């Protein structure tokens, strides 16, 4: 516990010293809210299914029903999920002027629910859906509600299949969002990585980009990452426990 206390205090000190701090979050940031991650050996979403068979754009175009069958229980969890203390901690840091933005790989919208204002969702979100035929974009709430009731693939008025605005394997990340995230990665003097394994590109390279421009790096994640050796502080613990303590130290100091 003493080592953890020391690491948390050191992380808080670095955040206090930073002039332009940015957070980057991954699936581990939302697991305390009841949303499973993708890569845990037994409980991860990819432990049960081949991601290329259900969550690639190629598979979606060939068999959208398989994608919707797979995402249905996950969509239920996301709709019911509430922000956890780690989400609120980042929102507090931003409101206090200590954090400029949150770059997230998550599609659940929990950062916004917690009050974060400047959020870059590099893997998309579930708030809208786009027709794969006519490219009409619509709010996804009613589509998701009907889909959860009936289990049927939602269709556009033109007859095309509606696809949620989440990034599937084989798709490019949203250019404007990715560009903004990269700009903040270059501009920041500290990046806080929370709940990300840093295994999915190109998002995994954003902390490396920050380091290349002289930023300090804090990593809070249960499992080791490829950048642990280059980070100033590494905490292998629960983000929902660690981040609120860091935020409290930074804001009340």
Which CATH number belongs to the domain containing residue 230 in this structure? Answer: 3.40.50.1220
pLDDT at position 175 is 94
How many whole angstroms from its chain centre is CA 113?
13
pLDDT for res 54: 73
Say whether both 111 and 232 belong to one domain.
yes
Report pLDDT for 73: 85
Query: Which segments in the chain show pLDDT lower than 50?
Result: 39-47
List, by residue number, the catalytic residues: 123
CB 143 within 8 A of CB 154: yes
Q: What are phi and psi of 180, to 5 degrees?
A: -65, -40
pTM of the model: 0.91
**Same domain membership, residue 196 and residue 76:** no
211 and 101 in a common domain: yes
Distance CA 136, CA 134 (A): 6
CB-CB neighbours of 53 under 10 Å? 14
Residue 23: what pLDDT?
98
Tell me which residue range forms the domain holding 141.
Answer: 39-80+124-166
Q: How many domains does the chain have?
A: 2
Residue 171: Cβ within 10 Å count = 15
């Amino acid at each position: 516990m003493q080592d953890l206390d020391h690491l948390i205090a050191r992380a808080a000190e670095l955040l206090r010293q930073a002039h332009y701090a940015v957070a980057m979050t991954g699936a581990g940031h939302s697991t305390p809210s009841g949303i499973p991650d993708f890569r845990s050996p037994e409980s991860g979403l990819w432990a049960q299914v081949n991601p290329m068979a259900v969550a690639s754009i190629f598979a979606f175009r060939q068999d959208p029903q398989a994608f919707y069958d797979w995402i249905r229980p996950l969509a239920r969890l996301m709709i019911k999920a509430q922000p956890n203390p780690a989400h609120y901690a980042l929102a507090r840091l931003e409101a206090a002027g200590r954090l400029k933005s949150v770059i997230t790989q998550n599609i659940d919208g929990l950062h916004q629910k917690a009050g974060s204002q400047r959020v870059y969702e590099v893997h998309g979100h579930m708030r809208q859906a786009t027709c794969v035929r006519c490219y009409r974009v619509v709010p996804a709430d009613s589509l998701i509600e009907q889909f959860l009731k009936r289990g049927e693939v939602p269709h556009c008025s033109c007859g095309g299949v509606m696809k949620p605005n989440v990034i599937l394997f084989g798709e490019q990340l949203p250019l404007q969002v990715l560009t903004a995230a990269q700009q903040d990665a270059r501009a920041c003097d500290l990046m806080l990585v929370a709940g990300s394994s840093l295994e999915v590109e190109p998002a995994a390279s954003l902390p490396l980009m920050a380091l290349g421009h002289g930023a300090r790096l804090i990593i809070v994640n249960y499992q080791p990452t490829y950048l642990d050796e280059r980070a100033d502080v590494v905490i292998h613990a629960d983000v929902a426990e660690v981040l609120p303590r860091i935020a409290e130290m930074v804001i009340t100091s």
